[in-house]
Structures are given as structure tokens and as C-alpha cells.
Amino acid sequence: MSASSRNTSIILVIIVLIAAAGGYYFWQQGQQAAGGPKGPPPSTVSSTEVETEEWQPVLLSVGSLVAVNGIDVGSEVNGIVSEIAFESGQEVEKDQVLIRLDDSIDIAALEALQADQALAEVQFKRVQGLLQKSVTSKSEFDEAEARFDAARARVRQQEAVIKRKVIRAPFPGLAGIRNVDLGEFIEVGDAIVSLQQLDPIYVDYTLPERYLPRIKKGQAVTTTFDAVPEKTFSGTVSALDSGIDTGTQTLRVRATLANPDGLLRPGMFAQVETVTGDAQPVLTLPRTAISFNTYGNVVYVINRGEEDALSVKRTPVTTGEVRDGRVAVENLEVGTEVVRTGLVKLRDGVAIKIDNSVALDDAEIGGE
């Protein structure tokens, strides 16, 4: 390539570079005239404030329901079912007849024993009269008296057998599904029906032994059940076990609950709160306002800058008990404004826009 050609190429390169630099300059001037480059739009969130609530101190536990009285009604004698006097699922009263067993043979045997008793009584009275006249010996009188006593005992024994052929409810309660049919032969101990006394009803639960000084009879208890989510059942502590379970180091506690509608049944799982003192002021936030993390929980405190510019500051927070979708918190002050929803997209210092137009329910969106 000749020297003139090289010079021409260099001049062309210089012209291109000058044109590019000039283009960039005019583009930059246009951007400045338009207000400069724009960052990402602010994140839309909802906000809330730290509030003070009165919370009673409680001990939380889980337990299960136990009937005040609950048994499988059985028979004390063998026999054939001759009558069923109740329906499955029926409310029954104390001493109400549940079933009768065939007693025709037993009654016939009783009549024979009653005849023997009558004869023994006649013989006893005859010997007694003769003894008064000194016509018979005292030993003959004693034998007659013994035969009479034995005859009366056999009658009473047979009457007891017949009485046991009628099975009655030992206490008032709700009968379950019957396990016998008419004409069925049952033996001693066979379960006829489950009977449960449901009002009141017990809830049994355990607490760690360290809470023993804080628990006593008469303390208020509130319970909730997954099977009846819309209701809370109140009661009182009615008994404490006499010792500590050495395997779990826990104390067994029993509370009594009113159950007039029969909504609660033995075996149901219960969440139990035992009230241990007077209400105390607690700082709380909705559960959704807290970002729960393995290495520490945080909230995003809202900072209001110049011209109402809003940003957030990532702030560690100590959390405690959760009740109805609200969490007890520390390290914050009453009235501190924090982000309530929309935390996932936030970072420390990011700009935000607040939209509280949608009404939120703490218990529904933040409940356990």
C-alpha cells in the first residue's frame, strides 16, 4: 500500500471516531434535557404500624378429650338377647333398660327354688313349735333352721341372676352404635354398646415440669378444635396429676369444659391455652409484616424523605407469640410504620409506593 493510501485510511478512521463522539455527545445532551436516565419504578406495598395490645400470659399445649364417664357396656351373664330397648346414637338416662336377655329358664328355676323355700319354712316352723313344747331336740331345730336359711339364699341368688338378665345404663350419656342383634347369644363381658357422658367433658394435656409453679386448680382455660374451627370452648383446670412423668418430665393436667350441644367428642385433638396471669401490654404486628428467616427475622421500616419520597430500611426484629394472625415483637416502637404486604420484592433502600385501599384481616391472612 502506498503512503497516500495509508494517509487516506487514517483520515477516514479519524472522521468516523469524531462522528461517533459527536453522536454520543448529542445523545447525552438529549438525555439530560429529558431529565436523565430513569431507574426502576417504585414497588407497590401496603403499610401498617406497630400497635400495643393487652395480652394475657398463657401456656400453650395440645391435648385430647376424655369423657367424664365412658365405658363399653357389657353383660355379667350369658344369655340370648330377647329385647333391645335403645337405638344407636340415642341419649339414655341412668338405669334406663338397654337390652333384656331371655330369662324363661331362670324364672322356672326360681319358681322351683321358691317352692323349696316354702317347704323348708313350713318344716322350720313345725320344728320350732315342737321345740317350744320340748318335744324335739335343739339339734333338729338347728338343722331345720339351716335348711330354711339355705333355701332362702338359693332364691336370692336366682333372683340376682334374673336381675342381671336386664342390662341398664349405669349413668346418663350418649349411646354409640350397638354391637348386638336380637336373638344373638352373648357371653360375659361381651360389649353391647359404648356409652359416653359428654357434658361436661374433660381435656387432658401435659405441660413441662418447669411450669408447675404457674399452674393450679381453678385457672381459666380456652380450647380450640380443628373439628369445630368456628368456636372457642372455655373451662377451668380441675385436676393436676400427683407426680411428674419421668420419661417426658411433664405434668399431666385435666380441665373441665362445658359441652351442652355435644359438639365435642372423646378422642378429639385440642389446642389448649392456660391463662396464668393478668393481661400485659404487648407490641404487635400482623404476621404478614414480618419476613421470617433462618438467620433472623426482619421487617421493612418505611422512611419518608423529601417531597414524600418513600423508601424502606431492612430492620432486624425479635418475635414472640402469635395470636390471631398478630405477632408479639421487640426492638420496635409504638407507631413505627412498616411494610405489611409485598415484602418479597423488597431490598434495603428500595423506593416504594403505598396502597392501603384493600382491607386486610390479620386472622385470615396471617393466622396459624
pLDDT per residue as tens digits for the range 189-224: 889 999 999 999 999 999 999 988 888 899 999 999
Percent of the chain's residues with pLDDT above 70: 85
| Most confident region among 113-117, 150-154, 170-174 by mean pLDDT | 170-174
* Average pLDDT for 104-117: 83
127, 144 contact by CB (below 8 A): yes
Residue 237 pLDDT more than 90? yes
CA distance 366 to 368: 7
Split at pLDDT 50, 70, 90, the class of 368 is: very low
Calculate the average pLDDT of the chain. 83
Q: Cβ of 207: how many Cβ atoms within 10 Å?
A: 20
* Average pLDDT for 244-270: 92
Going from the N-terminus, what domains does the chain have, and what CATH number goes with each? 43-55+280-366 (2.40.420.20), 59-68+199-275 (2.40.30.170), 103-164 (1.10.287.470)
CA distance 116 to 199: 50
Measured between its terminal Cα atoms, the distance across the chain in Å is: 83
Give the per-residue pLDDT at 7. Answer: 56
- Report the predicted TM-score, pTM, of the whole model to 2 decimal places: 0.62
CA distance 309 to 335: 19
Residue 10 pLDDT more than 70? no
202, 80 contact by CB (below 8 A): no
Give the per-residue pLDDT at 206. Answer: 93
